[in-house]
Amino acid sequence: MAAARATLPLPRVPAPSPRPQLRPFPSLPARRGAVACGAGSAAGVAASLRLGDVIEAQQFDRAALTEIFEVAREMEALERGSSSRGAGRSRVLEGYLMATLFYEPSTRTRLSFEAAMRRLGGEVLTTENAREFSSAAKGETLEDTIRTVEGYSDIIVLRHFESGAARRAAATADIPVINAGDGPGQHPTQALLDVYTIEREIGTLDGIKLGLVGDLANGRTVRSLAYLIAKYQNIKIYFVSPDVVKMKDDIKEYLTSQGVEWEESSDLLEVASKCDVIYQTRIQKERFGERIDLYEAARGKYIVDKKVLDVLPKHAVIMHPLPRLDEITIDVDSDPRAAYFRQAKNGLYIRMALLKLLLVGR
């Protein structure tokens, strides 16, 4: 049944107006394979994904990224054109319904997905803090929630506190599932908008030097970005973090296997002087549990401030997935190299592109 279902068109709620014929996104790997593979293996990851799910950054190849970014630029032009002329919203996704299930707090990801859906004429069902204010509080399993919600919607955007939750949801649902962050696991749509931002700001992706700073052990954004940027040539990555939150070995081993040069450093100023992109992240207090002493030891060790700006190349940019605490000082905001709010806006265009590609195709 599983193998057959992977080859059939996804069911859709009838729309009041004709839609383009649904086609699979050709560059994404199939969700299910004829043979079940272990969840810990690369083959298992590839076999567990379905056309139309966005679960992890490494599922995309360069051809897929190119297509997504082309559509994102189209969405940017569409959104800017509608805003400047006061025109009505697009009707590309009219008749489609997106469900956002967020078991963890979110501002940018949830709102940008909902804005993206509405900008394209679709509708939204949403739940915020589903961990507390949904049937999960009564003990309902994620799988039962997904089976229920897919009966109401055409696509599910899921944020969950457990790594691997998005893969479980995709294995359950017969409609597309988008991973909007699963605990300390991955955040693939953030990685997509990050790479898109780098291309827009720097003008190229091949040959860049990227400094990843802050909480690299718990930061799903930096993990996903490392997977995605490895698709490009002549990349060098610098890891700058307190000892307690260093980048984990699985990412280092992956980068090495892909021929990506990486280096660990304790000197942010030296790294900043060499980089095209400094990608700062906050120390994630919520991942430390009761070990507040470890959190306090890590917090505030690496801060992007005027000293960093003084050594940063003129063409370089500073990025941050947000929210920030004190790891980027406010006086950095006025520097043209501070790209983090432009980065956040790019999330709208990337998510508009993904929704369009997953629901109606190019």
How do residues 78-98 score in pLDDT, each as one tens digit?
988 766 555 567 889 999 999
Structure tokens at 201: 């700001």
Q: Judge whether 138 counts as a catalytic residue.
A: yes
Q: Fold identical between 62-79+91-185+347-360 and 189-286+293-344? A: yes
Structure tokens at 148: 């229920």
Given the residues 109, 189, 197, 281, the one annotated as active site: 109
Q: Judge whether 109 counts as a catalytic residue.
A: yes
**What's the pLDDT at 285?**
62
Does residue 299 or residue 357 have the better pLDDT?
357
**What's the pLDDT at 27?**
40
Read off the pLDDT of each residue in 241-254 and give the average, rounded to a whole number. 92
Q: What is the pTM of this model?
A: 0.81
**What's the pLDDT at 287?**
62
Given the residues 108, 236, 274, 285, the one annotated as active site: 108
Q: What confidence tens digit (pLDDT) does each residue in 282-323 have?
A: 886 666 666 777 777 777 788 999 999 999 999 999 999 998
**What's the pLDDT at 205?**
97
**What's the pLDDT at 59?**
92
What is the CATH number that goes with domain 62-79+91-185+347-360? 3.40.50.1370
Sign of CA dihedral 89, 195, 53, 110: negative
Q: Judge whether 231 counts as a catalytic residue.
A: no
CA dist 31 and 7 (Å) reads: 10
SS3 89: coil
Q: What are the DSSP calls for 252-286, one per residue?
A: HHHHHHTT-EEEEES-HHHHHTT-SEEEE----GG
Kindly state the percentage of the chain with pLDDT values over 90: 61
Q: Judge whether 187 counts as a catalytic residue.
A: yes
Q: Judge whether 159 counts as a catalytic residue.
A: yes
The answer on pLDDT for 180 being more than 70 is yes
Has domain 189-286+293-344 been given CATH number 3.40.50.1370? Answer: yes
CA dist 337 and 316 (Å) reads: 6
> What dihedral angle (degrees, nearest 10) is formed by the CA atoms of 24, 26, 30, 34?
90
Does residue 192 or residue 6 have the better pLDDT?
192
**What's the pLDDT at 87?**
56
Given the residues 119, 167, 168, 187, the one annotated as active site: 187
CA dist 316 and 330 (Å) reads: 18
**What's the pLDDT at 219?**
82
Does residue 132 or residue 270 have the better pLDDT?
270
Given the residues 32, 119, 159, 200, the one annotated as active site: 159
Looking up tokens 């204010």 gives 133
